[in-house]
């Protein structure tokens, strides 16, 4: 007979946090947790495995990963587990059957050991959803109840105020787990009533070993693990591209130094991308951020691009530390603005200005 699987062992890293979570049954005074850390490092996954741990029918071997409770938690079908994310609506108010089915389909993508989807920053967690939670926790239950709130910093002000009252007097055997990559956006009143667990970035070697076990070639896994910067989700997104994780135009954009050279390249680039969909442009900017982080790490001596991609090392050597820092800062700003600004013309122009020679303060007029 195959021995039960301890799903905690499937988690990459975070050993100290796992050890703490295993003690929480003996800490009835802790009801609310904040899982804080960068995107894609396993916060939601560990929260669901912890839910398995609480729900498992084989308490002495929890989480076994095999009993009906563990399987229901993994599939988000356990009746005492609620998962809330930006865009999730109060299901009681949905009358359109197709809308309801689409929402359940989106929710299913948050299942255990699956790569969760990115949600638009325009989506929030509304007060109606928090009110529904407050109604549900009034019902008594002998089992542990877990409420997982993903990207909790995107609660509206009204929702945060309503949730605060629930945190002040939580029922017994109820756990609230809030995940966030932007802890500073959570109201201080909520932060002060939750136990904060800080998730560190994953080690590149750990990501590399995980990818190799999944059957990917070592060379590709090594390159991807470096440019994932501690995020397993990013690594899984990049490795599906094969050996060339960065498109050729991303590399060419990073090579731009002088405005007269960048201008002609940008004209061709604009003609192509001004007709493409918005998400493709955002993805292009995101790739540039990953690439420039690599150039910065090369400058700081944290990695050796010569072992990964010699051409990228040459690009890093041709740029100054200040050029990389300024471009990376502008790219991050631009990426944040993309969530709120749908003007593709302005985004493309800002992209051009963020990567051309920073020593000049004059811009060549672009007739676009």
Per-residue pLDDT tens digits for 43-73: 999 999 999 999 998 877 788 888 899 999 9
pLDDT digits 0-9 by tens, 203-247: 988 999 999 988 888 888 888 888 888 899 888 888 887 777 788
The continuous run of DSSP H or E covering 177 comes out as strand 174-180
Query: Cα separation of 238 and 232, whole Å?
Result: 10
Residue 311 sits at φ, ψ, to 5 deg, of: -65, -40
Residue 242 sits at φ, ψ, to 5 deg, of: 90, -155
For 129, residues 6+ apart whose C-beta sits below 8 A from its C-beta are 84, 88, 89, 90, 159
Q: Which pair of tokens denotes residue 194?
A: 């939750």
Please report, for residues 39, 215, 226, 235, 237, the alpha-carbon distance to residue 211 in angstroms, rounded to integers and kept in the order given. 18, 7, 12, 9, 12
Q: Which pair of tokens denotes residue 136?
A: 């549900």
Query: Cα separation of 10 and 296, whole Å?
Result: 32
- C-alpha dihedral sign at 262, 266, 267, 269: positive
**Higher model confidence: residue 18 or residue 274?**
18
Which pLDDT belongs to residue 92?
Answer: 65
Which pLDDT belongs to residue 45?
Answer: 92
Confidence bin at 195 (pLDDT 50/70/90): very high
- C-alpha dihedral sign at 349, 352, 357, 363: negative
Query: Cα separation of 190 and 196, whole Å?
Result: 11
Beta-bridged to residue 83, according to DSSP, are 148
Q: DSSP letter for 275, please.
A: T
Mean local confidence (pLDDT), 149-165: 91
For 170, residues 6+ apart whose C-beta sits below 8 A from its C-beta are 31, 32, 137, 176
Residue 264 sits at φ, ψ, to 5 deg, of: -70, -35
Beta-bridged to residue 196, according to DSSP, are 34
Q: Under DSSP, is residue 228 helix (H, G, I), strand (E, B) or coil?
A: coil
pTM of the model: 0.82
Which pLDDT belongs to residue 148?
Answer: 94
pLDDT digits 0-9 by tens, 309-340: 788 888 888 888 888 888 888 888 888 777 66
């Amino acid at each position: 007979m195959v021995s039960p699987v301890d799903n905690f062992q499937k988690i990459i890293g975070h050993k100290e946090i796992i050890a703490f979570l295993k003690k929480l049954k003996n800490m009835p005074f802790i009801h609310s947790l904040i899982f804080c850390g960068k995107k894609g490092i396993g916060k939601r996954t560990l929260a669901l495995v912890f839910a398995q741990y609480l729900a498992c029918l084989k308490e002495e071997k929890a989480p076994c990963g095999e009993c009906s409770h563990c399987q229901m938690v993994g599939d988000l079908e356990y009746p005492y587990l609620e998962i809330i994310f930006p865009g999730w609506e109060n299901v009681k108010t949905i009358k359109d059957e197709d809308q309801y089915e689409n929402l359940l389909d989106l929710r299913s993508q948050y299942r255990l050991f699956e790569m969760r989807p990115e949600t638009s920053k325009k989506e929030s967690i509304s007060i109606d959803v928090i009110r529904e939670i407050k109604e549900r926790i009034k019902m008594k239950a002998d089992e542990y109840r877990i409420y997982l709130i993903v990207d909790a910093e995107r609660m509206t002000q009204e929702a945060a105020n309503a949730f605060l009252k629930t945190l002040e007097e939580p029922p017994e055997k109820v756990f609230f787990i809030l995940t966030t990559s932007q802890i500073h956006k959570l109201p201080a009143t909520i932060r002060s009533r939750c136990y904060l667990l800080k998730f560190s970035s994953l080690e590149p070697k750990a990501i590399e070993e995980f990818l190799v076990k999944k059957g990917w070639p070592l060379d590709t896994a090594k390159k991807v693990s470096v440019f994932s910067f501690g995020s397993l989700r990013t690594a899984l997104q990049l490795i599906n591209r094969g050996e060339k994780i960065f498109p050729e135009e991303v590399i060419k954009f990073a090579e731009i130094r002088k405005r007269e050279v960048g201008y002609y390249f940008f004209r061709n680039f604009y003609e192509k991308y001004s007709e493409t969909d918005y998400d493709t442009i955002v993805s292009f900017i995101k790739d540039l951020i990953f690439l420039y982080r690599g150039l910065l790490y090369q400058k700081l001596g944290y990695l050796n691009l010569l072992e990964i991609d010699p051409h990228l090392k040459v690009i890093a050597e041709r740029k100054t530390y200040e050029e990389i820092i300024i471009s990376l800062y502008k790219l991050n700003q631009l990426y944040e603005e993309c969530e709120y600004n749908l003007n593709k013309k302005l985004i493309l122009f800002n992209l051009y200005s963020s990567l051309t020679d920073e020593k000049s303060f004059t811009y060549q007029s672009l007739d676009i």
